[in-house]
């Protein structure tokens, strides 16, 4: 009997060690070891949120032990069968959680606006010495999620890579992100948060690396058979090394034109890093507008046709009735929210329901 108890105790200790090792290894993960200012602010939000929630959890855990010991059977405590209300106790029970919820709400609201991925960065460097260096223009990188690999296009440098992302430190980077045929998510934990990649749509992410790093990014959205190996190398390097890397990519001798891309977009797994010395300047737009295949109309052309034929309303055949004026192509920027617009900018047009009927007319009809 004692041997069985000792065996169970050993197994329990082994389980505790395994769990502890798992927690300790998790502490070294990229989320808690950021290399950029955006990821660092996101990590701080995790710490602050956890600390605020522990303000409730820790006292409750202590009180469970204290109450169990103090009011145990036959020992201590005060027996009061007529107790039904305590104003001071009610204040503690309701005010503490309410204050924590208010602080969490304020933190969430402010961080949602400050860390909006569409919003350009207010700062790039985190130290005064680095901030004194003149700020360079943002590096532009176009990201395409494919089956099952990542395509990175550097339009200003005229190069492209597959499963390799190299960025200069202390320089803002603007990512334009889309997908070929399946919803996915672009995630580099040391750089910034997760951003969805959707076919026919463009997401934007502004981020920065503040120290050299060699890590990896991956897909955080299940997308099929090759999902597990859909990873890319992430390297943060000094500006001089970045320029050398661009020069080496230009010497690769490969060109990413439409025929090459049509072969590249075919599903493939565990694709090694590839570099292209030149890229079709119109490739990303055609991927975004889903007109890579020869003869397939782009979304801009379809929108222009819709605008000229009255859109989806068969009763409105006026030219230009399909799409509002000024919408000549797909939007490339996030529209400003109505919260930040004046009443004049919002307009005063009557509301229509999904059947194209004015709400007032619909109400009159229901009254009759």
Q: What is the pLDDT of residue 8?
A: 61
> Alpha helix (H) ranges present in the chain?
2-26, 37-70, 87-114, 128-131, 239-250, 258-264, 283-288, 299-308, 343-346, 359-367
Distance in angstroms (rounded) separating the CA atoms of residues 161 and 257: 13
Range of the domain at 316: 299-367
Distance CA 138, CA 136 (A): 6
End position of a domain, from candidates 288, 323, 340: 288
- Same domain, yes or no, for 168 and 279? yes
Residue 306 confidence (pLDDT):
72
The per-residue pLDDT for 92 is 83
Is the domain of 202 the same as that of 256? yes
Final residue of a structural domain among 264, 288, 312: 288
- Is there a contact between 104 and 50 (Cβ–Cβ < 8 Å)? no
Write the CA distances from 190 to 35, 274, 316, integer angstroms.
5, 22, 52
Q: For residue 134, what pLDDT is reported?
A: 66
Task: Give dist(CA 252, CA 37) in Å, integer.
Answer: 33
Mean pLDDT by 10 residues, the chain (368 residues): 61 60 54 88 91 89 86 69 83 88 90 89 72 76 94 95 95 94 91 91 93 91 88 94 94 90 91 93 92 85 72 48 50 56 60 50 45
Whole-number pLDDT of residue 365: 45
Closest by CA to 208, choosing from 32, 29, 38, is: 38
Q: Do 94 and 203 sit in the same domain of this protein?
A: no
Do residues 277 and 348 both lie within one domain?
Answer: no
User: Which residue is associated with the tokens 């897909």?
Assistant: 219
Measured CA to CA, the distance from residue 165 to residue 143 in angstroms comes to: 10
118: CB partners within 8 A, 6+ apart: 204, 206, 333, 334
Q: Are 132 and 124 in contact (CB under 8 A)?
A: no
Please check whether residue 104 lies inside any domain of the structure.
yes
pTM: 0.73
Tokens 């989320």 belong to 31
* Domain-located, residue 160: yes
Q: What is the DSSP string of 93-104?
A: HHHHHHHHHHHH
Check whether residue 227 and residue 140 sit in a common domain. Answer: yes
What per-residue confidence (pLDDT) applies to 337? 56
Residues 264 and 151 reside in one and the same domain: yes
Sign of CA dihedral 357, 358, 362, 364: negative
Does residue 152 sit in the same domain as residue 266? Answer: yes
DSSP tag of 358 = B
Give a yes or no: residue 293 inside a domain: no
Q: Report the C-alpha gap between 321 and 162 in whole angstroms.
A: 42
Whole-angstrom Cα Rg for the chain: 29
H or E element at residue 187: strand 184-187
CA atoms within 13 A on the CB side of 274: 20
Let me know whether 141 and 264 are in one domain. yes
The pair of three-digit structure tokens given for residue 227, joined into one six-digit string: 């999902």
Which of the 8 DSSP states describes residue 296?
P
> Distance between CA atoms of 28 and 21, rounded to whole angstroms?
11
Tell whether 94 is covered by a domain.
yes
The reported pLDDT for the residue numbered 319 is 47
Inside any domain, residue 97: yes
Q: Are residues 264 and 325 in the same domain?
A: no
In this predicted structure, what is the pLDDT of residue 252? 86
- Cis upstream peptide for 56 (omega within 30°): no
CA 87 to chain centre: 45
CATH number at residue 166: 2.60.40.420
Q: Are residues 173 and 56 in the same domain?
A: no
- Do 117 and 42 form a contact (C-beta atoms < 8 A)? no
Residue 186: inside a domain: yes
Q: Clarify whether residues 332 and 216 are in a common domain.
A: no
242 and 157 part of one domain: yes
- Inside any domain, residue 278: yes
Asked if residue 323 belongs to a domain, the reply is: yes
Q: Tokens 């990649």 label which residue? A: 197
Q: Which residues is 162 bridged to in the sheet?
A: 151, 274
Residues β-bridged to residue 32:
none
Write out the two tokens for 60.
Answer: 């409750």
Number of domains in the chain: 3
Which domain-ending residue is among 256, 288, 320? 288
Residue 159 is predicted with a pLDDT of 95
Instruction: Based on DSSP, count helices (H) and strands (E) in the chain, helices before strands.
Output: 10, 13
Only one residue has tokens 């996915």, namely 184
């Amino acid at each position: 009997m004692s041997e069985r108890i000792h065996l169970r105790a050993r197994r329990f200790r082994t389980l505790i060690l395994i769990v502890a090792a798992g927690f300790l290894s998790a502490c070294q993960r990229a989320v808690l070891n950021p290399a950029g200012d955006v990821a660092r602010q996101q990590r701080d939000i995790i710490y602050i949120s956890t600390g605020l929630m522990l303000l409730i959890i820790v006292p409750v855990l202590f009180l469970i032990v204290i109450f169990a010991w103090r009011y145990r059977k036959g020992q201590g405590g005060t027996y009061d069968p007529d107790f039904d209300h305590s104003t001071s106790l009610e204040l503690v029970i309701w005010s503490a959680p309410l204050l924590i919820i208010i602080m969490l709400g304020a933190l969430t609201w402010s961080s949602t606006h400050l860390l909006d991925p569409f919003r350009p960065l207010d700062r790039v460097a985190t130290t005064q010495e680095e901030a004194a260096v003149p700020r360079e223009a943002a590096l532009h990188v176009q990201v395409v999620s494919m089956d099952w690999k990542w395509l990175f296009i550097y339009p200003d440098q005229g190069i492209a890579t597959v499963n390799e992302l190299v960025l200069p430190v202390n320089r803002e980077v603007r990512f334009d992100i889309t997908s070929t045929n399946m919803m996915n998510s672009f995630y580099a934990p040391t750089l910034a948060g997760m951003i969805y990649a959707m076919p026919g749509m463009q997401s934007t992410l502004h981020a920065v690396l503040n120290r050299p790093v060699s890590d990896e990014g991956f897909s955080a959205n299940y997308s099929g058979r090759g999902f597990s190996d859909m990873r890319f190398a992430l390297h943060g390097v000094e500006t001089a090394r970045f320029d050398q890397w661009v020069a080496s990519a230009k010497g690769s001798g490969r060109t990413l034109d439409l025929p090459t891309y049509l072969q590249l977009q075919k599903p493939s797994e565990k694709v090694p890093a590839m570099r292209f010395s030149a890229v079709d300047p119109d490739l990303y737009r055609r991927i975004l507008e889903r007109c890579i295949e020869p003869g397939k109309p782009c979304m801009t052309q379809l929108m222009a046709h819709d605008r000229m034929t009255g859109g989806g309303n068969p009763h409105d055949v006026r030219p230009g009735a399909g799409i509002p004026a000024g919408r000549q192509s797909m939007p490339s920027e996030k529209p400003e929210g109505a919260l930040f617009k004046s009443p004049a900018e919002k307009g005063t047009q009557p509301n229509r329901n999904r059947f194209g009927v004015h709400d007032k007319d619909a109400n009159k009809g229901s009254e009759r």
